[in-house]
Structure 1
Amino acid sequence: MGTPAKSLRLASVYGLSLLIIFIVPLFLWQSTTAKTVAAVDWFDIVTEGALFILGMCWLMVIVSVRPAGRVTNLLIAGLSSYCLGCYLDLLDEIFIVKTIPVYNWFEKMPTPVGLLVLTCGLWLWRDEQTVVNRQLQTREQFYREHQLTDGLTLLNDAKAFEHHLIKQLSQNQAFGLIMLDIDNFHQYNQNQGLEEGDRLLSQLALWLSSTLRNQDLVCRYAGDRFIILLRGAIPALVSVMAEQIQQGVSAFGCSASVVWALPSPKVLPLQTHKTPAKEEAATLLQLLNQKMSQQKEIRSPAVTPAQACNTQNPSTLSELN
C-alpha cells in the first residue's frame, strides 16, 4: 500500500465502515420493526445499494492512492458522509423508521453535508492539480509515452526529447538548448555507492523541473547528462539560465560541465535545399554532444574526482554558434 501511515489510514476506514454497517442495522432491529417482503421496494434497494457500493469503492480508491494532506482529508470526509447517507437511505427501505424521529433527521443530513465537503475537496484538488500539471509540463510537455520515460528520474528520455526537438524545429520558432553533464560522476558512484548516485540524479531532476519555466522541458539524455529545451529563448536568457544552472548544481555537492546553443543558420551545414526537421535535430544534437565532449576534455585536468563531487569549482560555459 505504500507507507505504513497509508496502510493504517486504509485499515481505519475499513474498520469504521464495517462497524457502521453492522451497528446501525442492529440498532434499528432493536428499536423498530422490519418491513414485510411485499412492502419492500426492491428497485429502490438495488439503486440505493448500488450508490452505496460505488461510493465505498471511490472512498477506498482515494484512501489508497492519495497522499496525506488537507485535500485528501476533505475528500475522505465528504465521501464517507455521502456513503453514510446512501447506507441510511438503503436501511430506510428495509426498516420502518418513522417511529424514530431522531433517525429521520439524522438520515437526511449526511448526504448534503458530504456532497458539500466533497465539493470543497474537489475544488482544492483542482488547484493542486494545476500546480502538478505545471511541474509535469517541464518534465514531459504532456507527451506521455511511458516507454519513453526514464524510470529513475521520471523525466522523458533521449528519444522523447528528440520528438520534442523535431516538433520545435517544424514550428520554426526561436528556442535554446542547454546540456549539462556531472563531472566525474563515475567516481562519485565508486566512492558513495550506486544508490547515492541514483539519489543525486533524482534530486537534480526534481530541482531542474522546479527551476525552469512552464514552457521549458528537461529530459535525461544519457547517464548523468541532462538536456533542456528553452522555448522562445534569446541569447541573453539562455546564457544566464545556463550559468544559474551550473552554479545551482554545486548546491548538491557536485560540479557540472554546461554547454548551450541557440539554433541559427550558422549551426547547421549550409545546404541548397531545406533540411527535414528530423535531420536538423540529429545534426544539432550531434554538434551539442561534440561540444560537450570538448568541454569535458578541457575541464578534466582542472577538476579532480575529489573536487568534482565535494566542492564548487570555477568552470566555463560553452556556447554553440
Structure 2
Amino acid sequence: MDTPAKSLRLACVYGLSLVILFIVPLFLWQSTTAKTIAEVDWLDVATEGALFALGMCWLMVIVSVRPSGRVTNLLIAGLSSYCLGCYLDLLDEIFIVKTLPVYNGFEKMPTPVGLLLLTCGLWLWRDEQTVVNRQLQTREQFHREHQLTDSLTLLNDAKAFEHHLVKQLSQNQAFGLIMLDVDYFHQYNKIQGVEEGDRLLSQLALWLSSALRNQDLVCRYAGDRFVILLRGAIPPLVSVMAEQLQQGVKDFGCHASVVWTLPSPKVLDRQANKFSAKNEAAALLQLLNQKMSQQKENRRSAATVPTTFNGLNQSTLSELN
C-alpha cells in the first residue's frame, strides 16, 4: 500500500508532466510555425516519441516503488530531465524552432544533464544495494527471483530453498538443516484471528533472519513451517542453534517443534551431479518432514500443551486440546 507521501509524489510527477506536455507545444504554436506533413521526418518522430514514452514509464516505476531519499531524488530528477529532453527533441521534429535561439539552446541541455544526474543516482543506488544485499543475505543468498518469494514473510519459498539446497549439495561442502514448525498454529489462528496469525509469522521470519549468520539461509517451507540451511556447520553448532531457536520462539508467546540433520558431504559424479543433487535434496527434505511428523506425534501422545499462547489462558487451551 502506498504511503501518503509516495502518493503525493506520484501525483506531483503526473501533474508536472501534464503541464509540460500542454504548455511547451502551446508556446511553440504561438511563437513559431509548424512543419508541413511533407517536411516531417516520421521515422525520427517515431523513435524520439518511443524514447520519451519509455523514459516516462521508467520514471513512473521509480516514483511508485522507490522509498524517499537522496538516491530516489537523483533518479527522479535525472529521468525527468531526460524525458524533457526527449520531448523537446520530439517537438523539434514538428515545429520550426530555428527562429527561437533561446529554445535551441535550452533544447540541448535537459538530456545530458538528465543522464549525468541519472548516472550519479545509479552509482549511489549501487552502494545502497550493497548494504541491502548484506541485510537480505540470510533471506536470498544472492539468488533473487521475486516470483519465488513468499508474499507474507518476504522469505524465499520451498521451491527457492530446494534450488539453494541442490546448489549446496553440488559443492560437496558440509552443511546442516533445521526445520522449525509452530505448535498449535491452527488453534492460534482460530482464537486470535488470521491477521494475528499472519503477523506472528512475519515477526518470526524477521527474527529468524536476524538470528542467523550471514552465510545461512532461512525460507518459509509451508504454512507455519520454516527451513534453515546452515553452511559450514558441525554437529555441535547445528544442535545448539536448533535449541536456541526453539527457546527463542517462546519470546513470541508460542512454542515450536524443531528437528535437524547434518548430511555427510558426498562426492557426486560430475555427469550426474545435478540429477543426484536433486534426488539427495528431495530425500533430505523428506527426512526432515518425517522427523517433524514423528516429533509432532510424540508430543500429541504425551499431551503436552504450551502454557502460554500470546495471552491465551490455560483453560482456553484445555478446551482446544
TM-score by length of 2: 0.75
2:27 alignment partner in structure 1: 27
1:196 alignment partner in structure 2: 196
Is the aligned partner of 1:64 residue 2:87?
Answer: no
Taking structure 1 as reference, are residues 43 and 196 closer, same or farther at Cα in structure 2, changes over 3 Å only? same
1:307 alignment partner in structure 2: 308
1:254 alignment partner in structure 2: 254
Q: What is the CA–CA distance in structure 2 between the aligned matches of 1:66 and 1:291, rounded to whole Å?
A: 43
| C-alpha displacement of 1:251 | 4.1
Cα RMSD between the aligned structures? 3.6
Q: What is the CA–CA distance in structure 2 between the aligned matches of 1:145 and 1:112, rounded to whole Å?
A: 34
1:314 alignment partner in structure 2: none
Give the alignment of 1:111-190 within 5 angstroms. 111-134=111-134, 137-141=137-141, 142=143, 144=145, 146=147, 150-158=150-158, 160-190=160-190
| Aligned partners of 1:181 and 1:224 also within 8 Å | yes
Taking structure 1 as reference, are residues 103 and 214 closer, same or farther at Cα in structure 2, changes over 3 Å only? same
Taking structure 1 as reference, are residues 210 and 73 closer, same or farther at Cα in structure 2, changes over 3 Å only? farther
| C-alpha displacement of 1:170 | 4.3
Describe the SS at the equivalent of 2:33: coil
Q: State the AA in 1 paired with 2:120.
A: C
Q: What is the CA–CA distance in structure 1 between the aligned matches of 2:144 and 2:14, rounded to whole Å?
A: 38
Deviations 1:228-252 (A, max 9, x none): 0111112343344334433443443
| Aligned partners of 2:35 and 2:96 also within 8 Å | no
Is the aligned partner of 1:12 residue 2:45?
Answer: no
| Aligned partners of 1:34 and 1:94 also within 8 Å | no
| Aligned partners of 1:35 and 1:96 also within 8 Å | yes
Identity %, equivalent residues? 83
For structure 1, which segment, 113-122 or 126-135, has the greater mean C-alpha deviation from structure 2 after superposition?
126-135
Taking structure 1 as reference, are residues 160 and 119 closer, same or farther at Cα in structure 2, changes over 3 Å only? closer
1:227 alignment partner in structure 2: 227
Describe the SS at the equivalent of 1:230: strand
Give the alignment of 1:266-305 within 5 angstroms. 280-281=280-281, 284-293=284-293, 295=295, 297=298, 304-305=305-306
Gaps of 5+ in 2: 266-275, 313-321
Q: What is the CA–CA distance in structure 1 between the aligned matches of 2:290 and 2:49, rounded to whole Å?
A: 66
Deviations 1:59-114 (A, max 9, x none): 22323343444333222211111111222233334445455444344323222221
Describe the SS at the equivalent of 2:181: strand
Q: What is the CA–CA distance in structure 2 between the aligned matches of 1:12 and 1:241, rounded to whole Å?
A: 50
TM-score by length of 1: 0.75
1:110 alignment partner in structure 2: 110
Gaps of 5+ in 1: 266-275, 312-321
Describe the SS at the equivalent of 1:186: helix
2:318 alignment partner in structure 1: none
Query: Number of aligned pairs?
Result: 299
